[in-house]
């Protein structure tokens, strides 16, 4: 009886806290939605330092809404002070993109960031849904998604090139390893403009450190653009508790005309002849 009373009291307190968190406008409710399964302190606040959650088979569960802890990775995937080992054509194209301040990056034309930089847009979070046989990544940016198959299939042979490529995932201990290939040219590896070709093969290593933090290292292999494989900086992600993704589309792209008009007037805005293969 006493246990029951205490439980009821705690439930009532939690309900009060959640009511507080969701009080306000309809928008505030959508932005602040208590997510079941979130570990909480006695005051009801999410405990972001709680242990890594796990799925039924004991593997870490990467599910949740995440965002990068800084825009730095989105600007440049490499560790500060380092350079990617680019082949001459790639170096020339990269220089052009830097010199023209990235005016013609895919997003200017309402195309999304790709692999891995769609996860590094700090202002637009992403949601991971880890379910048996598949891990789905939902990107707030332009309402896009990515599928990582974990059902044991292999990467397709001679696939039709795709913006996000084709992804398979496996667990190596506590690390979720994702191999992706079959990319289409067009996406940039970061906003600085590191290019890639259809030969790109990325290997992402996700590690959820605790409930609130997740790290990722990416290996970039593209023998048609780089002299050797190279690694990204360690990317840090922060869980966004008790919230939801919002809509982001490209319905009013005023920037395209401004950017094209301005840069077409600049003599720089002529792509290098060897820039594209």
Partner 1 sequence: MKARLAILMCVASIAAPGLAVAHHSFAAEFDENQPVKLTGTVTKVEWTNPHIWFFIDVKSQDGTVANWGFEMGGPGQLLRAGWKRDTMKIGDVVTVEARRARDGTTHANAQNVVLNSTGQRLFAASSQGQ
Binding residues for partner 1, rule: CB under 8 A, are 17, 20-21, 23-25, 27-28, 31-32, 45, 67, 71, 74-75, 100-103, 105, 107-108, 110, 121-124, 140-142, 191, 240, 242-243, 246-256, 258-259, 261-263
Taking the CB of residue 193, how many other CB atoms lie within 10 A of it? Answer: 21
Q: Check: CB of residue 191 under 8 Å from CB of residue 100.
A: no
Task: Give min distance, CB of 139 to partner 1, in A.
Answer: 12
Task: Give min distance, CB of 203 to partner 1, in A.
Answer: 27
Q: Which is nearer to partner 1, 55 or 110 (CB)?
A: 110
d(CA 244, CA 95): 38
Task: Give min distance, CB of 47 to partner 1, in A.
Answer: 13
Q: Tokens standing for 148?
A: 């990582």
Q: Which is nearer to partner 1, 44 or 182 (CB)?
A: 44
Element of type H or E holding 66: strand 64-68
Q: Which is nearer to partner 1, 140 or 222 (CB)?
A: 140
Q: Which is nearer to partner 1, 38 or 130 (CB)?
A: 38
Q: Which is nearer to partner 1, 227 or 264 (CB)?
A: 264
Return the closest-CA partner of residue 94 out of 118, 73, 76, 110: 76
Task: Give min distance, CB of 231 to partner 1, in A.
Answer: 23
Q: Check: CB of residue 169 under 8 Å from CB of residue 153.
A: no
d(CA 178, CA 169): 4
Task: Give min distance, CB of 33 to partner 1, in A.
Answer: 10
Look up tokens 């940016």; give the residue: 141
Task: Give min distance, CB of 6 to partner 1, in A.
Answer: 21
Return the closest-CA partner of residue 204 out of 242, 244, 164, 241: 164
Q: Which is nearer to partner 1, 160 or 247 (CB)?
A: 247
Q: What is the DSSP letter of 77?
A: S
Q: Which residues of 80-91 are buried (b: 16+ CB within 10 A; e: fewer)?
A: eeeebebbebbb
d(CA 32, CA 243): 5
Q: Which is nearer to partner 1, 75 or 174 (CB)?
A: 75
Question: In this structure, what are the phi and psi dihedrals at residue 20, rounded to the nearest 5 degrees?
Answer: -60, -45
SS3 98: helix
């Amino acid at each position: 009886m006493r246990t029951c009373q205490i439980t009821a009291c705690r439930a009532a307190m939690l309900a009060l806290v959640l009511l507080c968190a969701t009080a306000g406008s309809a928008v505030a409710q959508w932005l602040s939605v208590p997510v079941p399964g979130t570990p909480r302190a006695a005051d009801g606040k999410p405990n972001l330092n709680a242990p890594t959650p796990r799925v039924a088979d004991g593997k870490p569960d990467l599910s949740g809404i995440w965002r990068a802890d800084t825009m730095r990775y989105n600007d440049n995937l490499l560790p500060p002070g380092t350079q990617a080992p680019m082949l001459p054509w790639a170096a020339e194209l990269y220089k052009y993109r830097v010199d023209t301040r990235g005016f013609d990056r895919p997003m200017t034309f309402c195309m999304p960031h790709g692999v891995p930089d769609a996860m590094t847009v700090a202002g637009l979070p992403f949601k991971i849904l880890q379910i048996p046989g598949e891990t789905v990544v939902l990107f707030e940016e332009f309402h896009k998604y990515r599928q990582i198959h974990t059902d044991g299939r292999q990467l397709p042979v001679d696939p039709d090139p795709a913006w996000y490529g084709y992804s398979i995932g496996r667990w190596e201990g506590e690390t979720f390893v994702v191999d992706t290939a079959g990319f289409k040219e067009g996406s940039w590896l970061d906003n600085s403009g590191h290019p890639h070709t259809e030969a790109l093969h990325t290997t992402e290593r996700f590690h959820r450190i605790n409930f609130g933090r997740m790290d990722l290292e990416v290996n970039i292999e593209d023998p048609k653009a780089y002299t050797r494989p190279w690694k990204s900086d360690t990317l840090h992600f922060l869980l966004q508790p008790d919230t939801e993704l919002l809509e982001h589309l490209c319905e009013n792209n005023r920037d395209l005309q401004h950017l094209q008009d301005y840069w077409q007037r600049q003599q720089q805005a002529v792509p290098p002849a060897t820039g594209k293969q």
